[in-house]
Amino acid sequence: MVSELQPSAVWAHFATLGADNGLKCGIIAAKYPGMDIVSFGPTIRGPHAPGESVDVASVARTGPLLIAVVAAHA
């Protein structure tokens, strides 16, 4: 399947965050083949483990990324 959403999400990610953090949705994509999905979010360290933490500055950058993706498809 060719994704209409993915190119603008990747562009918005680079434009707003300046890096590729591996936009992956493997589990959901496997359950729903053909669904156009992307994943993005803040920087998480030690996910699902004691001491898990989030980079607060990266949380603040997530909002503009979402807005850019939605605006590209409005």
- Tell me, what's the pLDDT at 20? 45
**pTM here?**
0.51
Contact 40, 23 (CB under 8 A): yes
Range of lowest pLDDT (5-9, 10-14, 45-49):
10-14
Instruction: Look at the chain and count its residues.
Output: 74
For residue 27, the SS3 value is: helix
pLDDT at 22 over 60: no
Q: How confident is the model at residue 56 (pLDDT cuts 50, 70, 90)?
A: very high
Mean pLDDT over each residue of the chain, to the nearest integer:
76
Higher pLDDT, 37 or 57: 57
